[in-house]
Amino acid sequence: MLRLREESPLDMLRQFSVHFDGDLLENLGAAKMSIENENGIGYISLYEILPGLTSWIYNINFTKDLVINMNFTDDKPYYFGYNISGYQLQKFPKDEDYKKIRQGQNFVIISKPNSSSEFIIPGNIDYKCCYIIINPKLLKKSKISSKLKLVQDLAESFKLDKENEPFRYFGDIDARIGTYADIIVENERTDIIGRLITEGAILRMLGSQIEAHEHDSNSDNFKPALTKSELSRITYIGDYVLENISEKVSIDEISLHLRISPKKLQSGIRFLYGYSANEYLTRLRLEHSKELMHSTEMNISEICFAVGYQSKSYFSKIFSDTFGNSPSVFRKSYEEANLLYDISYRSLAVDSIDGKDVDNIINIARSFNPQFQITGSIIFHRNIFFQIIEGPKKEVLALFKNICNDRRHKDIQIMWQGFKIKREFNNWALATISDEGVLKVDIQGNTKNLELSNLLGKLDKSAMDSENLWRKVRTIIKVNSNNSAA
């Protein structure tokens, strides 16, 4: 049984990854856990459209029944779902028997605060399901009017008889919702383009689910006017635009590149994303500008030109219209919120490095990190460094730049970087983990619970530079760090 703590969707996916020994790939606003082992084959992924609105996707075949005991918080999130393939069972504590959620069925579950629910996903079936997880408390913090209206619409649509009791709605088989759910599940990308594909389908699927609940009737079968091959080609529009992001790209130029007529191109964009072609191109540029604000120290003017706009005032206007704040206010909000920045990287140590060098690196880091409010964890194993650094963005980026210029490191690969709300290493100026027998620096924090020895100790040297391995290490540390810190 997987005992799942209801936290942020990303934290929950990390728990899945540790439980199934999965490979968790994290990007800004998206993540994907893949498995191909004795536990099953397939993936579970998520996309955060904005704080409080996330999609959770199963496309997986487990080797045996997965029983999940879900412990809910007091946030009372909404779980909208649709089973594309396979089925699942669900039970609240007061239920005598499990309720079956059928293939093709639309469902909504709202939890009782500080209670639990059990879910069973049968083994040896191809299970495809899309959840939309909505946290009204987080959505209410948004300044975007459309998101605030969504909270109001949900409250009006789901007028619960008893506010603190669990709620469950199993609707009819609904082909229209299934069309959008299928787009979400089959989209394996976790980059900007993947997020926009998913965002458009999520919002349309959510609208259809609310409508289905209100009318409690079958929707008309809904099919796009384009073939699956044509829709697949249209999903590559984002790659082409990003490759030429600083240039003005026309619809005719994109149409020629994708070998599809302008009319079909615009129709396909409208179906996939819910935007006109020009609106989609604008949204793609603005999403990329947000990533540059997250991951670089470029100023707003530099970002404006980098994403293809020549007028800073026009860029600021459309950014404000889309996200509710100007670019400068958006960036400043991260600083005022005291959000932390996180970089996880893996590097190879040069052949000449020895235990004294590693001791020196760690001692210097522990001496300087506290004054810059930097905490984290480092592993040195078989001449490989793996480090997680967290703290104020400016200081973290400056430290990472120094690491990149340090000749004792080579072949540096970033596993993840981005903002987060809370510190995961508390007072660890630098927690160390090693089985090399050369380090003399005392281990800081109780790392016994991390159980990395089985993961690291049995690997030969050729496997040590695997990105898959170090993503697993990062996930284990993230899941356990709060419990194991001194």
Cβ-contact 231, 268 below 8 angstroms: yes
Cβ-contact 404, 346 below 8 angstroms: no
**Would you state the pLDDT for residue 463?**
43
Quote the radius of gyration of the chain (alpha carbons, Å).
24
Could you give the CA distance from residue 338 to residue 176 in angstroms, rounded to a whole number?
43
**Would you state the pLDDT for residue 301?**
94
Cβ-contact 434, 380 below 8 angstroms: yes
Cβ-contact 121, 174 below 8 angstroms: no
Query: Within the chain, which residue ranges are assigned CATH 1.10.10.60?
Result: 228-325
**Residues 6 or more apart whose Cβ sits within 8 Å of residue 484:** 445, 446, 447, 448, 449, 450
At residue 452, what is the residue type?
L
Of 14, 10, 25, the C-alpha closest to 475 is 14
Compute the C-alpha angle 68/202/222, nearest 5°.
Answer: 110
**Would you state the pLDDT for residue 450?**
45
Could you give the CA distance from residue 314 to residue 322 in angstroms, rounded to a whole number?
12
Q: Calculate the dihedral angle through the C-alpha atoms of 385, 390, 391, 396, rounding to the nearest 10 degrees.
A: 40
**Residues 6 or more apart whose Cβ sits within 8 Å of residue 268:** 224, 226, 230, 231, 234, 260
- To the question of domain 2-215 being in CATH 2.60.120.280, the answer is yes
Output the tens digit of pLDDT for each of the chain's 486 residues: 888 888 788 888 988 998 998 988 887 778 899 999 999 999 999 888 777 888 899 999 999 999 999 888 877 788 989 888 899 999 998 888 999 998 888 888 887 788 889 999 999 999 999 998 888 888 777 666 666 677 777 776 666 555 667 888 887 666 678 778 888 888 877 777 777 888 888 888 887 787 777 665 344 444 556 776 787 788 788 888 889 998 888 889 999 998 899 888 888 888 777 778 888 899 899 989 988 887 777 899 999 999 999 999 999 999 998 888 899 988 887 666 667 888 988 888 888 887 778 888 888 888 888 889 898 888 777 778 888 888 988 899 899 999 999 988 888 988 788 877 777 777 655 656 555 544 444 544 444 444 454 455 444 444 444 556 566 666 766 665 544 433
Cβ-contact 97, 154 below 8 angstroms: no
- Write down the architecture of domain 228-325 according to CATH: Orthogonal Bundle (1.10)
Structure tokens at 423: 């510190």
**Would you state the pLDDT for residue 478?**
67
**Would you state the pLDDT for residue 297?**
79
Query: Within the chain, which residue ranges are assigned CATH 3.30.70.100?
Result: 340-484
Residue 461 CB burial class (10 angstroms; 0-12, 13-18, ≥19):
exposed
**Would you state the pLDDT for residue 33?**
92
Decide the pairing of beta strands 105-110 and 384-391. unpaired
Structure tokens at 108: 């909504």
What's the CATH class of domain 340-484? alpha beta
Q: Please, what is the angle between helix 277-295 and helix 192-215, to 10°?
A: 120
Could you give the CA distance from residue 174 to residue 218 in angstroms, rounded to a whole number?
6
Secondary structure, 3-state, the chain = CEEEECCCHHHHHHHHHHHHCCEEEEECCEEEEEEEECCEEEEEEEEEEECCEEEEEEEEEECCCEEEEEECCCCCCEEEEEEEECCEEEECCCCCCCEEECCCEEEEEECCCCCEEEEEECCCCCEEEEEEEECHHHHCCCCCHHHHHHHHHHHHHCCCCCCCCCEEEEEEECHHHHHHHHHHHHCCCCCHHHHHHHHHHHHHHHHHHHHHHHHCCCCCCCCCCCCHHHHHHHCCHHHHHHHCCCCCCCHHHHHHHHCCCHHHHHHHHHHHHCCCHHHHHHHHHHHHHHHHHHHCCCCHHHHHHHCCCCCHHHHHHHHHHHHCCCHHHHHHHHHHCCCEEEEEEEEEECCCCCHHHHHHHHHHHHHHHHHHCCEEEEEEECCEEEEEEEECHHHHHHHHHHHHHCCCEEEEEEEEEEEECCCCCCCCCCEEECCCCCCCCCCCCCCHHHCCHHHHHCCCHHHCCCHHHHHHHHHHHHHHHHHHCC
Q: Please, what is the angle between helix 327-336 and helix 277-295, to 10°?
A: 40
**Residues 6 or more apart whose Cβ sits within 8 Å of residue 351:** 383
Could you give the CA distance from residue 332 to residue 88 in angstroms, rounded to a whole number?
44
